[in-house]
Amino acid sequence: MSRPFFDVSERAGLCDLLEELGPDAATVLAPWTTRDIAVHLVLREHDPVAGPGLMVPGPWARLAQRHHARAATRDFAELVATIRSGPSGVFRLSWLRQVPNLNEMFIHHEDVRRANDGGPREFDPAMNGALWANVCTGTWVLTRRLRGCGLELCNALTGQTVRARRGSNTVRVTGEPDELLLYLFGRQGVADIRLEGPRGAVAEVRSTRFGL
């Protein structure tokens, strides 16, 4: 049986929050504002020229920055309506909706929520399962910059673990699936997790930049 598309509810919740806060509210990604988050998501899903530059450095990234600056002049309500309309092109494919689309909508929803007095949310078991599946799917690439120690992720709700990096000195990161996903995507400052392991290895983990 295929997994449900939880990106739908995260997209709707994010759009509702963007409309409530307006274009100039803070985000976890300072100095980005809510307008920048909206522009980023519109480019990702609706600008096939600039979209890849959001991930690829060099000339393509500079092209994406120019597109970002131009799109930022658009009416904010129009940007949010474009996001709310749903994914376009390849982003409608099932796997993309279940993994990168859910990650994108969830992470940026939290980028806005947690910079505006929003704390951790409670999710039903199905959503927690979807987020945990994405934690397990993304571990290797999201932790690729970690050197010199191992890393293990532990689901605080179920006790399940997944090894992200191999090494003799292993650090365990424990948290609920949403918090682990935030941590892996570089939101260490807002993720509610617990680190356990040798002091030097924990210091190495704390100093490593996770994420894409």
- The domain ranges of the chain are 7-116, 126-207
Q: Which residues in 71-198 belong to E strands, given as ranges?
A: 150-155, 161-165, 170-175, 194-196
Fold held by 126-207: Nonspecific Lipid-transfer Protein; Chain A (3.30.1050)
Q: What per-residue confidence (pLDDT) applies to 50?
A: 64
Q: What per-residue confidence (pLDDT) applies to 61?
A: 67
Cβ(71)–Cβ(54) under 8 Å? no
Residues 6+ apart with CB under 8 A from 195: 171, 172, 173, 202, 205, 206
Say how far apart CA 165 and CA 151 lie, in whole Å. Answer: 5
**Alpha-carbon distances, residue 168 vs 139, 140, 150, 163, 164 (angstroms):** 18, 17, 6, 12, 13
**Alpha-carbon distances, residue 61 vs 57, 79, 118 (angstroms):** 5, 21, 31
Could you say which residues of the chain have pLDDT below 70?
A: 1-4, 48-61, 90-95
Tell me the three state secondary structure of residue 162: strand
Say how far apart CA 147 and CA 133 lie, in whole Å. Answer: 24
